Amino acid sequence: MSSRPQRSSYIWGIFARPGRLKWLLAALPFLISIFTYTFFSAKRHEANPSEKLMPSWSQMVKRTTELATVPNKRTGKLVFWDDTWSSVIRIAKGVGLATLVSVMLALFIGVFPAGHALGQNFTNTISFIPPVAILPILLVAIGVGEASKIGLIFIGTFPLMTRDLTLYVKGLPREQIIKTMTLGASQWQLIWKVIFPQMIPRIIETIRLSIGAGWIFLIVAEGISSSEGLGYRIFQARRYMAMDTIIPYVIWITLLAFIADTILRLVIHFFYPWYRANKS
Amino acid sequence: MNILHFQDVDKAYPTPNGDDFLVLDNIDLTIKKGEFCTLVGPSGCGKSTLLKLILGQEQATQGTLTIRDNIAGNPDSTRGIVYQRYSLYPNKTVLENVLAGPFFKIPFWKKDERAEVKAYALELLEKVKLGEHTAKYPHELSGGMQQRVAIIQALITKPEILLMDEPFGALDPGTREFMQTLLLELWEEYNLTILFVTHDLEEACYLGTRLLVLSQYYSDDRGEDFQRGAKFVVDQQLHRGALSTHVKEKPDFNKLVESIREQGFNPKYLQHVKEFDLNHPDSWSTLSLEEHNS
Ligand SMILES: Nc1ncnc2c1ncn2[C@@H]1O[C@H](COP(=O)(O)OP(=O)(O)OP(=O)(O)O)[C@@H](O)[C@H]1O
Ligand SMILES: [Mg+2]
């Protein structure tokens, strides 16, 4: 009999220990996607030199570089950066406003019994309204300007944020609230010195989840009424079948969302070590 | 001086089928300053409910409950509480946890006062051997350390009465003994008034100056089918010798523990209300006519 300890498989089964192999595994789906695209794009270009549906990587890089470095003849702006800036600002405003409102509502509903009675059912009902369905109302009521786009993002994100944060506030142990009062806190102090500080990492997490939804509503709103923005550009490019603009823009949006998500994740990791420790 | 006073207190919870479920049944109790009361009783007899009433977290269905002659209202700093869990703020360090109470009272611009309390907090932490852990978060501490922080956190605001609900229930036996000794030291040094709930009869008999047994296992003249709530079936003075934990091995001590176990925890042992062992000098109890019509 060999006395070597048995090693579990690298890949197969629930006890697999991929070790450093996991980096390769993680990269694999990305590599396969890129390879597949490149392969089919090349084949189509062979068959038809003026192929537009699957532009080559070099075409996309060329087009994006143009948009990012050559000022637009009519407006004098760098289109790519101008679009990015407008969109990011809209999301920040929309999600920021949603955060502000949902924190207030969550504290109101989660802490005060009367607040619960007053607000719980109403916010739950609001959260069932499909946000895109009220976009026309927004457009009619407040016009096609910035406000209706930010408004759509706000309406699309705040109900779920409120629900999530309310659950969190209600989930804080009753003992802790009683304890706080026995330590001599006022109700105001209970809210701002005890409950709110504990909410912050959860707020950040809720924002992380809402940014995804925020993009959806942003792109819808920009597609319908706008003159700049990443979503606007995609819909505009569609008219000319300009896939060499659309695909890089989609990749860029994905990247922006990923970056925002990573930053927020790292903030929780480094600044709120107790949050992760108490979650399990 | 009376710190706590219960008179004819009932506590009932509504049940889903509409009736009331009586937990505490015509309770009378007076606790004087400096007393270390331990409270034991079968699981579910209403010990935590009694603490909730004192805290003001629950309201009595009937009767009056005063703290220093004031009706006990919503939870405030006249009472301190240490729970088995959830006593500490997970987002604050050990020192911040201890300072939470004082800092609610001292506004941030009174820097000198704050510095003074901070020095005092550090001194207290030193005393309970946590001097090196003041910057840690609760999740980085062992269970015993967390409870020491919780005790300091509660006593630094000088409550009239310190309530403790199975504070050492989750600790291993060694840590438990260490905590018991420590608590007795703090009780003596700061002249605390304590009401200490525990499951552990030995702990109750060892720690307290006064032993209270709350139990629903008793009889009275209200008839066989009456849904009784719990009452104090034992209320007696304990004579503590030295602080040494060795008393736990003495035969007298074991006899006491056994007799309490019989009187409070045996569902078949039904003493009549008029025969309860209520010989503590502060003990008193008024029975309603229905309870003893003989
Ligand atoms: N909010 C409530 N609603 C209804 N019934 C309750 C409520 N709180 C407690 N009870 C009931 O009151 C009784 C006493 O509960 P309590 O928690 O005070 O017991 P306990 O003596 O502390 O028990 P343990 O030793 O297990 O901690 C139990 O039967 C419990 O089911
Ligand atoms: Mg209990």
Which of ligand 1's atoms lies nearest the C-alpha of B230?
Answer: 14
**Domain that includes residue B145, residue range:** 79-158
Q: Which of A176, A57, A275 is nearest to B137 (CA)?
A: A275
Say what percent of chain B tops pLDDT 90: 61
Q: What number is the average pLDDT over the span B252-260? A: 86
Residue B75 confidence (pLDDT):
93
On whether the CB atoms of residues A153 and A94 are closer than 8 A, the answer is: yes
How many degrees, rounded to 5, is the angle at CA A94 between CA A88 and CA A95? Answer: 90
Residue B250 confidence (pLDDT):
77
Q: Is the pLDDT of residue B257 over 90?
A: no
Q: B158-178 pLDDT, tens per residue?
A: 999 999 999 999 899 888 999
B180 and B259 housed in the same domain = yes
Integer Cα distance of A219 and A212 in angstroms: 11
Q: How confident is the model at residue B149 (pLDDT cuts 50, 70, 90)?
A: very high
CATH of the domain at B53: 3.40.50
B289 and B180 housed in the same domain = yes
Residue of chain A whose Cα is closest to the Cα of B138: A274
pTM score, whole prediction: 0.89
CATH of the domain at A164: 1.10.3720.10
B108 and B253 housed in the same domain = no
Residue B243 confidence (pLDDT):
54
Domain endpoint, select from B109, B134, B158: B158
Residue B108 confidence (pLDDT):
94
Integer Cα distance of A88 and A214 in angstroms: 10
B282 and B168 housed in the same domain = yes
Burial class (CB in 10 A: 0-12, 13-18, 19+), B260: buried
In chain B, how many domains are there?
2
Residue B244 confidence (pLDDT):
62
Distance B48 CA to ligand 1 centre (A): 7
Distance from CA of A267 to the nearest CA of B (A): 15
On whether the CB atoms of residues A3 and A10 are closer than 8 A, the answer is: no
Structure tokens at A121: 């059912």
User: Which residue carries 């611009």 as its tokens?
Assistant: B109
Residue B140 confidence (pLDDT):
94
Q: Is the pLDDT of residue B211 over 70?
A: yes
> Does B214 map to a domain?
yes
B154 and B208 housed in the same domain = no
Residue A154, CA distances (Å) to A66, A193, A209 in order: 33, 27, 14
DSSP reduced 3-state for B170: coil
Residues 6+ apart with CB under 8 A from A261: A208, A211
> Does B219 map to a domain?
yes
Residues in chain B within 8 Å Cβ distance of A275: 91
CB atoms < 10 A from the CB of A51, how many? 17
Residue stretches of chain A with pLDDT short of 50: none
Q: How confident is the model at residue B279 (pLDDT cuts 50, 70, 90)?
A: confident
Q: B123-140 pLDDT, tens per residue?
A: 999 989 999 999 999 999
Beta bridge partners of B9: B27
CA B131, B133, B135, B141 torsion: positive or negative? Answer: negative
Residue B265 confidence (pLDDT):
84
Integer Cα distance of B46 and B24 in angstroms: 7
- In the stretch 185-224 of chain A, residues with CB closer than 8 A to chain B read 185-186, 189, 193-194, 197-198
Residues 6+ apart with CB under 8 A from A2: none
Q: How confident is the model at residue B256 (pLDDT cuts 50, 70, 90)?
A: confident
Say what percent of chain B tops pLDDT 70: 97
Structure tokens at A235: 């819909």
Instruction: Write down the mean pLDDT value for chain B.
Output: 89
Integer Cα distance of B21 and B23 in angstroms: 6
